[in-house]
Amino acid sequence: MTPNVLVAYASKHGTTREVAESIAGTLREFSRLAVQIEDAALVHDISRYDLVVVGGGLYMGKWHADARHLLQRHRHELAGKRLAVFAMGPDSLEESKVAESRKQLERALAATPELEPIAVVIFGGALTPETWRFPFNRLPAFDARDWDAVHGWAEEIAAKLTPVAA
Ligand SMILES: Cc1cc2nc3c(=O)[nH]c(=O)nc-3n(C[C@H](O)[C@H](O)[C@H](O)COP(=O)(O)O)c2cc1C
């Protein structure tokens, strides 16, 4: 049977949503999985999914609340499923910046120690200041999203779900 996948995103300004859409696209097109994509805040029933991918932006050291709440809300059911997690995002892929963001994500994941994701990753973030209010609209724009890395990660988790026959 085709595995069912949910890709849930928690995004304030859309850049995480775009990454979630890219992941969903890779899972659909290259791995032929049945994929639903949904705003994390609107996810209420995960019973039919074999794999749940949860992604969220990091803000002031914290993973987006909608991503954290999704893990909390479904912690018991998620413990029996495959879970993959991503967060974004540093303004460059400099090792120390990615490590700092990773620490922030790990802190959030520590709240649900019973969950053992099959994959956890930090992607570079992006900021379009004109979509922000003062004073954040004065910040420099950046886009550190590495689409090859996003694509590669989606293939990696798909491979864990549907092992290629020898
Ligand atoms: C006010 C502000 C605070 C941020 N804080 C963090 C942070 O603590 N850690 C991090 O890795 N990225 C941080 N970022 C970068 C965002 O996570 C990045 O822009 C991300 O792509 C935003 O996702 P969204 O567009 O889906 O909301 C911050 C960005 C802004 C504007």
Residue 123's alpha-carbon distances to 46, 50, 56, 74, 153, in angstroms, are 25, 23, 10, 24, 10
Q: How many CA atoms lie within 13 A of 39 on its CB side?
A: 6
> Pocket of ligand 1, candidates 101, 127, 142: which has the most ligand atoms within 8 Å of its Cβ, to mutate?
127
3-class secondary structure, 85: strand
Is 60 exceeded by the pLDDT of residue 164? no
Q: Where are the domains of the chain?
A: 4-161
List, chain by chain if needed, residues with CB within 6 Å of any ligand 1 atom: 11-16, 57-61, 88-90, 101, 104, 125-127, 136
Average pLDDT, the chain: 93
- CA of 119 from ligand 1 middle (Å) equals 21
Question: If you take atom 16 of ligand 1, which residue's CA is the nearest one?
Answer: 89
Q: Is 78 left (phi over 0), alpha (psi -120 to 50) or beta?
A: alpha
Residue listed under structure tokens 């802190």: 107
pLDDT digits (tens, 9 = 90+) for 92-130: 999 999 999 999 999 999 999 999 999 999 999 999 888
d(CA 96, CA 88): 14
| pLDDT value at residue 163 | 57
132 falls in which pLDDT band (50, 70, 90)?
confident
Q: Which residue has the higher pLDDT, 48 or 136?
A: 48
Asked if residue 91 has pLDDT above 80, the reply is yes
For residue 125, which amino acid is it? G
Determine the pLDDT at residue 161.
82
Q: Is the pLDDT of residue 165 over 70?
A: no
> Which residue's CA lies nearest to atom 15 of ligand 1?
89
DSSP string, 27-43: HHHTT--EEEEEEGGG-
pLDDT of residue 166: 41
pTM attached to this predicted model: 0.95
Give domain 4-161's CATH number out of 3.40.50.360, 3.40.50.920, 3.40.50.2300, 3.20.20.100: 3.40.50.360
